[in-house]
Chains A and B, each alone.
Chain A
């Protein structure tokens, strides 16, 4: 394979221009002829039986075309897994959270739809509700689902080695509890959906999504329609972060409305609805007992995790396992016992957020610092001693084929001035470190792989057909860049048709951090296949062996004698005449243990590969107000290979905002019983430009043996290492550990006051 012509360069993304001019369209921007507007009637009760719904008055309002309730649905319960089918999406019998969908209207305009909602009468039998997962797990709490005793949705038990003996042998053992509040994705684009249905029974859906195939499959089940009748189209998505992956009531309801009305239906949620009625992130309580040797090596880990899952299971088994898995992906863990519980509560359904479980991984990362403090060892040393390496096997059995964790730790420490700063800055200033491994491409059964096709025009241009999904990360550009590199074309030489469940082959979506590794690999394979076909034909035309040829600048040329060349268009035409048109086909499935199951069999190769990162955060604490300001974030990420370094940096920088300054310091959902008090963008505090630190991202390249050009993943980083970096930095600055997130000023102040009282 020749040297790279395009990958590795800071290329301008193919989607940027349209987004810069306002041409790029999102779901709410779309219109179709005779389109109706949909609105949803939502439950004001956290837990209630629906006794009766009277829609007759609403139906009579002029301008109202159709009304749907749970009775219009086929009564199918959806579940991401076969064993988690608990969600009817438009409930017919019971509501389980405030804001849940009860009925919906499609009308000629939005005002009429809203007016009609007021005319629907619903008779409820209010039931006692429970909002705290620890309460919900106790016997005697209101039962939210008939099948779930003590409201336990998922229990993941993992046992490795001999934990009890290991604790006995440990030199130092400590136990801590970490608590994390709830977050929300707060993607800047509110939820919206457009559904269109024709008389032949074909349903088309546009909605911001992280996988059209996932949405299509779910709708196919729920509507009892074959997949070829359910077409989820490509649409620009204004951010996802894990909150657009699953199937939501909105698209199901829009489909029902469109099917009943025989006209397209668009529903645009208010920002409040986007907060209360789609998905949010889990809150959690982590009880972690950790035992180490005298030199700070992890011997034993015993962790109980309780997740607030909300009213339905969503990606329950994955969400319950992932926090532990990130821990075992980062550090050597010879003995471990993990019990993860995802518990139902009468609140909005929770999903995974930009990976997941950062208070878990963050809390445990802080414990490593606490251990370092106790043993008198530099926290950096503790990290390095426990950091996994290439070739090692993780606790539950995944082999690591490339690992730059040590390199990342050292780079972060060096560039940030760790040795000069840690423990040495004036009181009120401090530095802290965080590190993480990250699974890339985990088992999703048939959905875990991707396939791609490359077809050519007679003038030598090409179209890549791939299921890859782009929610802003730059994935579309990435696959084009890969294919263009292989085929010797520029970025303009390859069009992309993507993310369409009818047209593009199955793809895992922007999920499990797999777009580059899986979709990128499939695109590369397809381009290589096309390349092989092209070189085969061209070898006749140029009277040379295929291995002597290369693709460059839209031509096929003899490598040693480039003046002997043929224009690619000519090769394509020759192929057409020969009845062997060049069509490249390729696929990739990560080499995971397909028998591995989240709950029943959490053993075996868990991911195709793993990326690794480390970060140092520098903070300033105002000791009178408790306010923490992050002044600098310097860190390194082993992404395998940076296909587009500019895009990688963008992801790293973005993760510092959401995972770092946002989630660690600012963001929290405030609840009163079953109601969110801050379901709006003024009171849910997403970081602004003036809240951000200086960010110094370093790219580490370990050239993964499986990844396309060695590339792995780049989207997570700060989301999984900033909690501990900031928490540890606060300790370095003012000597207190804050174990409840977010680290708000009042908590810091209280801790400082307690410390003073204690001394």
Chain B
């Protein structure tokens, strides 16, 4: 059992702000944010591709910036604005980056797509008119095995054009 036999670990009640919703969860200190998001909050759009920060599929936005949620302790994420892929669409309308990914065939197996989309969104908020190189650099921390990145870059540029 997690925590069992460990005198030093106590469950902590923390308040997480995810996609605009407040969640009060009792967690162990050694739970990472990705585990809490997926297993406790049942937001399974965030993936666990490696657990070591090397693949990027666990990407969430914390205060608008893409981070590895597999290397973030859940306790550290308290009180910070967290956005997962589920938080992008507004009332049934896809976010422009999501729309562009769908329209441009930038999604194949889809496992890296949440991370790519979130990273693209964060980029456009900081740099509304990126170049091809700037998009590639921004997504250089997320691995895709299917697309060769071509249509992913196209989709982010298209979303920039539309905004």
- A and B: direct contact (Cβ < 8 Å)? yes
* Chain A positions near chain B (C-beta within 8 angstroms): 10, 12-13, 15-26, 28-29, 62-63, 108-109, 111-112, 185-190, 236-239, 241, 268, 270-271, 471-474, 646-647, 649-650, 653-658, 680-682, 686, 688-690, 692, 695
Given A12-B103, A239-B145, is A189 in contact with B44 using a C-beta cutoff of 8 Å?
no
Task: Please choose the segment from B10-18, B61-69, B74-82, B86-94 that sits at the chain A interface, where 4 or more of its residues have CB less than 8 A away.
Answer: B86-94
B1-39 residues with Cβ-Cβ distance < 8 A to A are 1-2, 38
Contact A695 B85 (CB under 8 A): no
In the bound complex, residues from chain A placing their C-beta under 8 Å from that of B147 are 650, 653-654, 657
Residue from B52, B101, B102, B104 within 8 A of A681 (CB atoms): B52
B129 at the interface (CB under 8 A from A): no
Contact B43 A22 (CB under 8 A): yes
Could you tell me the distance between the alpha carbons of A718 and B15 in the complex, rounded to whole angstroms?
Answer: 49
* Chain B positions near chain A (C-beta within 8 angstroms): 1-2, 38, 43-52, 54-55, 57, 84-86, 88-89, 94, 98, 101-105, 107-114, 117, 135-137, 139-153
In the bound complex, residues from chain A placing their C-beta under 8 Å from that of B105 are 10, 12-13, 16, 474, 646-647, 649-650
Contact B86 A21 (CB under 8 A): yes
Residue from A20, A239, A474, A695 within 8 A of B111 (CB atoms): A239
In the bound complex, residues from chain B placing their C-beta under 8 Å from that of A18 are 110
Could you tell me the distance between the alpha carbons of A657 and B157 in the complex, rounded to whole angstroms?
Answer: 20
Q: B9 CB to closest chain A CB, in angstroms?
A: 12
Residue from B50, B94, B140 within 8 A of A680 (CB atoms): B50
In the bound complex, residues from chain B placing their C-beta under 8 Å from that of A188 are 49, 55, 57, 109, 111-112, 143-146
Could you tell me the distance between the alpha carbons of A655 and B89 in the complex, rounded to whole angstroms?
Answer: 31
Could you tell me the distance between the alpha carbons of A456 and B139 in the complex, rounded to whole angstroms?
Answer: 44
Q: List 10 A-B contacts (CB under 8 A).
A: A12-B105, A16-B102, A187-B145, A188-B145, A239-B108, A271-B49, A650-B151, A681-B49, A688-B141, A695-B150
Give the nearest-CB partner of B35 in chain A.
A110
Contact A189 B47 (CB under 8 A): yes
In the bound complex, residues from chain A placing their C-beta under 8 Å from that of B55 are 188, 271, 681
Could you tell me the distance between the alpha carbons of A543 and B54 in the complex, rounded to whole angstroms?
Answer: 66
Contact B54 A657 (CB under 8 A): no
Contact A657 B109 (CB under 8 A): no
Residue from B44, B111, B141, B149 within 8 A of A692 (CB atoms): B149
Give the nearest-CB partner of B45 in chain A.
A22
Contact B143 A681 (CB under 8 A): yes
In the bound complex, residues from chain A placing their C-beta under 8 Å from that of B48 are 28, 190, 268
Could you tell me the distance between the alpha carbons of A112 and B112 in the complex, rounded to whole angstroms?
Answer: 30
Q: B18 CB to closest chain A CB, in angstroms?
A: 12
Contact A25 B44 (CB under 8 A): yes
In the bound complex, residues from chain A placing their C-beta under 8 Å from that of B86 are 21-22
Could you tell me the distance between the alpha carbons of A188 and B109 in the complex, rounded to whole angstroms?
Answer: 9
Give the nearest-CB partner of A268 in chain B.
B48
Could you tell me the distance between the alpha carbons of A655 and B108 in the complex, rounded to whole angstroms?
Answer: 13
Could you tell me the distance between the alpha carbons of A655 and B144 in the complex, rounded to whole angstroms?
Answer: 12
Contact A22 B153 (CB under 8 A): no
Residue from B101, B111, B114 within 8 A of A16 (CB atoms): B101
Could you tell me the distance between the alpha carbons of A347 and B143 in the complex, rounded to whole angstroms?
Answer: 27
Contact A17 B109 (CB under 8 A): no
In the bound complex, residues from chain B placing their C-beta under 8 Å from that of A238 are 47, 109-111
Contact A688 B51 (CB under 8 A): no
Could you tell me the distance between the alpha carbons of A242 and B73 in the complex, rounded to whole angstroms?
Answer: 36
Given A22-B43, A188-B143, is A109 in contact with B1 using a C-beta cutoff of 8 Å?
yes
Contact A112 B45 (CB under 8 A): no
Contact A236 B110 (CB under 8 A): yes
Give the nearest-CB partner of B100 in chain A.
A20
Contact A63 B1 (CB under 8 A): yes
Residue from A19, A187, A686, A688 within 8 A of B113 (CB atoms): A19
Contact A237 B109 (CB under 8 A): yes
Contact B109 A472 (CB under 8 A): yes
Could you tell me the distance between the alpha carbons of A24 and B148 in the complex, rounded to whole angstroms?
Answer: 21
Given A653-B151, A689-B140, is A186 in contact with B145 using a C-beta cutoff of 8 Å?
yes
Q: B118 CB to closest chain A CB, in angstroms?
A: 10
Q: B37 CB to closest chain A CB, in angstroms?
A: 11
Could you tell me the distance between the alpha carbons of A474 and B112 in the complex, rounded to whole angstroms?
Answer: 16
Give the nearest-CB partner of B42 in chain A.
A31
Could you tell me the distance between the alpha carbons of A270 and B88 in the complex, rounded to whole angstroms?
Answer: 29
Contact A22 B94 (CB under 8 A): no
Could you tell me the distance between the alpha carbons of A238 and B55 in the complex, rounded to whole angstroms?
Answer: 13
Q: Which of B44, B54, B111, B139 has the most chain A CB atoms closer than 10 A to its own CB? A: B111
Give the nearest-CB partner of A10 in chain B.
B105
Could you tell me the distance between the alpha carbons of A688 and B38 in the complex, rounded to whole angstroms?
Answer: 26
Given A187-B145, A189-B47, A692-B148, is A19 in contact with B107 using a C-beta cutoff of 8 Å?
yes
Could you tell me the distance between the alpha carbons of A299 and B126 in the complex, rounded to whole angstroms?
Answer: 61
Could you tell me the distance between the alpha carbons of A692 and B149 in the complex, rounded to whole angstroms?
Answer: 8
Q: B75 CB to closest chain A CB, in angstroms?
A: 18
In the bound complex, residues from chain B placing their C-beta under 8 Å from that of A186 are 145
Residue from B46, B50, B88, B143 within 8 A of A688 (CB atoms): B143
